[in-house]
Amino acid sequence: MKYFLDFEGTQFSHKIISIGAVCENGHSFYSLVKPESKYKISKIITELTGITIEDIDNAKGAIEVFNEFYNWVLAQEEEAKENEVNWNPEWFCWGSEDIHFVKGTFKDCASDPCARLILGDIAGGLTDYGTRFCQRYNIKQRGLLKVAQAFDHTKEQDHNALNDAILLQFIHSCEEKYEKAEIKKMVARLTELEEAKPKPKWTKSDLPKGTIVTISNNKKVTHSFETANEAAKWLISEKKIKDKEENEVAEKILEAAKKRNSYYKSWRMIGE
């Protein structure tokens, strides 16, 4: 059984604060999550996701949520067995950030057998579908929404974990629907549109608030990323930064963006 996942999490401590999941049978799961250990909901996270500190203070604890998620997964597997479908879970996310949230929350839930089991299984088998997709169709790393819009330009994103999981399942369904040559043409169109679009000064950009961007000497946006981890992955490959973890680079990019400083590139955050 394929499960399409998305997590929203804290900015630096990597604690899950919401989970969205869609099973290939169409059933879904969503919950806000209150971390078991100390956490902070930053202004950036609230602006990006709409989740406030009050929301999380009143949410179910991580152990309770992942016990519920464990039972939900078991229910999907029971249904699969009844229909003689392969029930072994396969976990998919978009990008490399979610695995850090899973590992951070696993530490909080290690004392509970069911939460530990489900989080451990995800951590051991989570596939970064975004990187795999972009490599398969020979395009630069792109965010979930950009790729979804290659198949349907009306798609929107609000950084709700369940809605993002649904977007991921949509992309997967398109991969099954279209031939590889057709998909290559669709995603190639993304590059054409980006190159044709005038690059505005970053203060005039219509990119969503919280987007991480690099800017040129005349303050125009040159590259944009939905998350600091996406920016870090690009910077590591672009500049061949050695001996530094992606998370470390992402934190330095965020710091540079907030202070309007340089870190190999000049970084800014839309809306800051």
- Does the pLDDT of residue 240 top 70, yes or no? no
Rounded mean pLDDT of the chain? 89
- Does the pLDDT of residue 234 top 60, yes or no? yes
Say what the pLDDT of residue 215 is: 87
Extract the tokens encoding 37. Answer: 């250990």
Return the axis-axis angle of helices 246-259 and 228-239, rounded to nearest 10°: 110
Say which range, 24-28, 88-92, 127-131, 183-187, has the weakest mean pLDDT: 183-187
Say what the pLDDT of residue 201 is: 79
Q: What distance in Å separates the CA atoms of residue 196 and residue 212, rounded to the nearest whole number?
A: 21
Say which range, 58-67, 223-232, 248-257, has the weakest mean pLDDT: 223-232
Extract the tokens encoding 223. Answer: 């590259």
Say what the pLDDT of residue 51 is: 94
Say what the pLDDT of residue 191 is: 67
Higher local confidence (pLDDT), 90 or 196: 90
- Does the pLDDT of residue 68 top 90, yes or no? yes
The residue extents of the domains of the chain are 2-177, 202-269
Mean pLDDT to the nearest integer, 110-137: 95
Higher local confidence (pLDDT), 102 or 49: 102
CA distances for 206 relative to 32, 58, 109, 158, 203, angstroms: 29, 34, 40, 15, 9
| Dihedral over alpha carbons 192, 187, 269, 228 (to 10 degrees) | -140
- Does the pLDDT of residue 220 top 90, yes or no? no
pTM exceeds cut of 0.85: no
Say what the pLDDT of residue 117 is: 96
- Does the pLDDT of residue 198 top 60, yes or no? no
Say what the pLDDT of residue 16 is: 97
pLDDT band for position 192 (cuts 50, 70, 90): low
Mean pLDDT to the nearest integer, 52-62: 96
Say what the pLDDT of residue 199 is: 64
CATH architecture of 2-177: 2-Layer Sandwich (3.30)
DSSP state at residue 201:
B
Say what the pLDDT of residue 84 is: 75
SS3 of 128-184: EHHHHHHHHCCCCCCCHHHHHHHHCCCCCCCCCHHHHHHHHHHHHHHHHHCCHHHHH
